[in-house]
Amino acid sequence: MPYQSPISPGRSWYEDTAGPRPEYPALDGDRTCDVVVIGGGFTGLSAAAHLAKAGANVVLIEAYRFGDGASGRNGGQLGTGQRAWAEDLEAEYGLSRAKALFDLAEEAKAHLLEFTAANQIDIDYMPGQLSVAHKPRYVDDYKAHAEIMASRFSYPHISFMDARETAERLGSTAYFGGTRDTGTGHIHPMKLVIGTARVAALAGAQLFEGTQSTGIMSSGGKVKVSTPRGTVTAQKCLIAVNAYGGTLEPVSAAHVMPIGSFIGATVPLGADSNVLPGGEAVDDSRFVVRYFRKSKDGRLLFGGREVYGVNDPRDIHIHIRRQIAELYPALGDVEITHGWGGYVGITVPRKPFVREVMPNVISAGGYSGHGVMLSNYFGKLYAETVAGNRDRLKLIEDLKIPPFPGGRRFRTPLLFLALNWFALRDRI
Ligand SMILES: Cc1cc2nc3c(=O)[nH]c(=O)nc-3n(C[C@H](O)[C@H](O)[C@H](O)COP(=O)(O)OP(=O)(O)OC[C@H]3O[C@@H](n4cnc5c(N)ncnc54)[C@H](O)[C@@H]3O)c2cc1C
């Protein structure tokens, strides 16, 4: 039986195409180190790699296997800037802070590409991103966005697309206009997970899979992390569990909420297909965003239906095929070979959550669907913090993310109601 992530639904196409996925042992016994990292997704693995490269003695524990959370299973789209448009950040924080946040995200993008190139991690990078309006009323916003990015944020790679160009580039007339960003692209996320773990291990990080943290205690300048078969005592701890942390640490749990997101992979569409002839990734203007792209071997990887809170993975194929057919009627009967999902960690304002939740313990997550480049970079910024420079991580800490209303008991039903309202608004 092929391995199946016990915490995310469905076996992903990435798992079948990532190549060998080395296994790491479970922790057995007690360890002492400089830094203990909890969670083996992009955030934790990147932190472990950069900490170990900087000479720290680091232990990383992952409850299941690296990439079993969101990092090995996502849409692979890097995007540009933060999740919120730079002009919205400017309206909220003023130009100089908005620019600093935008520039940080651009550093994240550059870092990801440099890190993978320097460490010979082949991530199937494909360039290009189309962002498209599913309602005519949004088209002017995209036009203004392209202009603002060039004139105010010194980012010249975004151009406006009218309805005709949008239809040509998508191979679909379902959208009314949008933008094309030639300064970003999309990747095979599981290959990045495997490669980053390899880099961390080679640099001397002690990596453990199948090792769930069951508690964190911080006192007297030391942090002690317990697991079923041993403890890790360290000077510092990074909590990198994002949407998968459950009740491990209450402050993170109150601020980062899991929502399900699902992807289907079709059979290869063939050389004569007019779907995305330029190979770009796409995201649309729906609040319940649809995101899709073609893989290197010509499949359509289509992400869409989000169910807030509890979800049933059995109907991923049906829902994804229906959404594909809305955009590409000719693909109404297309065979879907893989359907899978994972949990996105969102925050109330859809901005990342970084906070010192107890002495010497920092939690990072809540990238709100924009974590592919940010989470990898936050791992590096955490390593910088441990080395004594907290300036850049502080830009994010200062965002002051509020907790979800309703407490642990009522926040899921409240969010469900709120997000269903937005999903309804997408349709009218
Ligand atoms: C379907 C889907 C599509 C997405 N598409 C995109 C996209 O196109 N672009 C984009 O930018 N972002 C996207 N995202 C979001 C992106 O994948 C995440 O922001 C990013 O992977 C977060 O990485 P992470 O390391 O913080 O968390 P994760 O990768 O979720 O890792 C957390 C890890 O912590 C482990 N863990 C939890 N509790 C414990 C414990 N007690 N002890 C030990 N380990 C524990 C989990 O097992 C898990 O492996 C998507 C997410 C999903 C689910």
DSSP labels for 299-312? -EEEEEEEEESS--
What pLDDT is recorded for position 316? 84
Q: Which residue's C-alpha comes closest to atom 8 of ligand 1?
A: 75
Which pLDDT score is estimated for 305? 64
Helices (H), 126-249: 139-153, 163-170, 189-202
**For the chain, how long is the longest CA-to-CA vector?**
66
With a Cβ cut-off of 6 Å, ligand 1 is lined by 7, 38-44, 61-64, 68-71, 73-77, 79, 212-213, 240-245, 248, 261, 263, 291, 303, 341-344, 365, 367, 369-372, 375
Q: Which amino acid is at 47?
A: A
Strands 222-227 and 158-161, by their bridges, are unpaired
Q: How far is CA 186 from CA 13, 86, 159, 181, 372, in A?
A: 15, 20, 18, 12, 9
Residue nearest ligand 1's atom 15 by CA = 369
Continuous segment of H or E residues that includes residue 371:
helix 371-386
Task: Read off φ and ψ for residue 36, nearest 5 degrees.
Answer: -110, 130
pTM higher than the cut 0.85: yes
283 DSSP β-pair partners: 131, 291
Question: Tell me, what's the pLDDT at 425?
Answer: 61
Q: Which amino acid is at 54?
A: A
How many CB atoms within 10 Å of residue 174?
A: 15
Measured by CA distance, the residue closest to atom 3 of ligand 1 is 74
Which residue's alpha carbon is nearest to atom 10 within ligand 1?
370
Strands 336-346 and 158-161: unpaired
Task: Find the distance separating the first CA and the last CA of the chain, reported in whole Å.
Answer: 45
Torsion on CA atoms 120, 122, 126, 127, rounded to nearest 10: -20
Amino acid identity of residue 251, one-letter, is V
In whole angstroms, give the CA distance from residue 130 to residue 281: 6
pLDDT of residue 423: 61
- Chain mean position to CA 226: 27
- Which of 61, 74, 109 for a ligand 1 pocket mutation test, highest count of atoms within 8 Å of Cβ? 74
Beta bridge partners of 186: 77, 126
Compute, in angstroms, the gap from residue 85 CA to the centroid of ligand 1.
22
Distance CA 135, CA 138 (A): 6
CA-nearest residue, atom 35 of ligand 1: 39
The pLDDT value given to residue 308: 44
pLDDT at 414: 61
* Per-position pLDDT tens, the chain of length 428: 788 899 988 999 999 999 999 999 999 999 999 999 999 999 999 999 999 999 999 999 999 999 999 999 999 999 999 999 999 999 999 999 999 999 999 999 999 999 999 999 999 999 999 999 999 999 999 999 999 999 999 999 999 999 999 999 999 999 999 999 999 999 999 999 999 999 999 999 999 999 999 999 999 999 999 999 999 999 999 999 999 999 999 999 999 999 889 999 999 999 899 999 999 999 999 988 999 999 999 999 999 865 544 355 567 888 899 999 999 999 999 999 999 999 999 999 999 999 999 999 999 999 999 999 999 999 999 999 999 999 999 999 999 899 988 766 666 666 665 666 556 566 66
Give the E-state strand segments of 19-146 in sequence order: 31-38, 58-61, 126-132
- Both tokens of 91, joined, read 């309206």
Note the pLDDT of residue 348.
92
CB 13 within 8 A of CB 316: no
> Which of 12, 15, 62, 181 has most ligand 1 atoms within 8 Å of CB, for mutation?
62
Q: What is the DSSP letter of 55?
A: T
Closest residue by Cα to atom 31, ligand 1, is 41
- How many whole angstroms from 273 Cα to the centroid of ligand 1? 32
Using CA positions, which residue lies closest to atom 50 of ligand 1?
A: 74
